[in-house]
Structure 1
């Protein structure tokens, strides 16, 4: 209901961001241009001036690489498939330590189903673009003996060649119901 109240003045007054054709010296009965096309000999804007072309989003990894959340989900699905070499490849250096940060997830016996929900990544450094990202996660693991829930995060950094993200560290804690 509040949205309607805020929009009512705009309906009656018009939008202030549109030029007034009469005030600009244009004829009120003239038809507006359907499509404005830039001239072929148009020069690019001078350096340091604003351009109407949006600049690409800064990224610490190559364009087209899997995003942080997808990387974490792919890693967890490799764990579900019990493919240790594939899951270890997601870690920094291509392997985990002798006791990985998410060992409680990796060591679940009789794993039957695994669901992971990821939230938006959080920058954990001040660099532009960020080179240390934290992905909050919720994991639900179904085993032969019951269901286990974990909350925590995975921290990712760009691979040395910039081709994608790799897991730097993790923290998972069981949730008691």
Structure 2
């Protein structure tokens, strides 16, 4: 677990933050930017019990345990179903004050009938404003969430919208490698 401290304008250090990587359905393969970040920067990947048949309650409990066990504040780097998890967790957890921010990338639209059938229990998507700073990165040709839907989620969650253009599901198939642009966005959340 890597803790990151940042210097403020007056030269003092802010409390270190732990970056928690939240993969989506089926986890993130070795070429996914999330696992690149875990290897390069020592960020913590939140391991779920069942990547193939995810149960929302189980995933919520695991995330809550991880946040509680993390020293100091945390910042989420979520992808796909991990974004939907963050929204659900923020609605129910008593530990949201521990979160400094969330980078939400390519949320999966679990309200879409096809995805809803494959991921029962993940609809409806909770749409309340997140109680922490967030950035949502979407794509114009994401097969799991139309850009207009992703923009709507960004609006509802109070997240800054970043349009990555035609980048698919912003995963390993998008050939992003360690995705420096995404990491720069994460850094803006760590500095606050």
Name the TM-score, length of structure 1 as normaliser.
Answer: 0.22
Greater fraction of residues in strand: 1
Choose 1 or 2 for highest CA Rg. 1
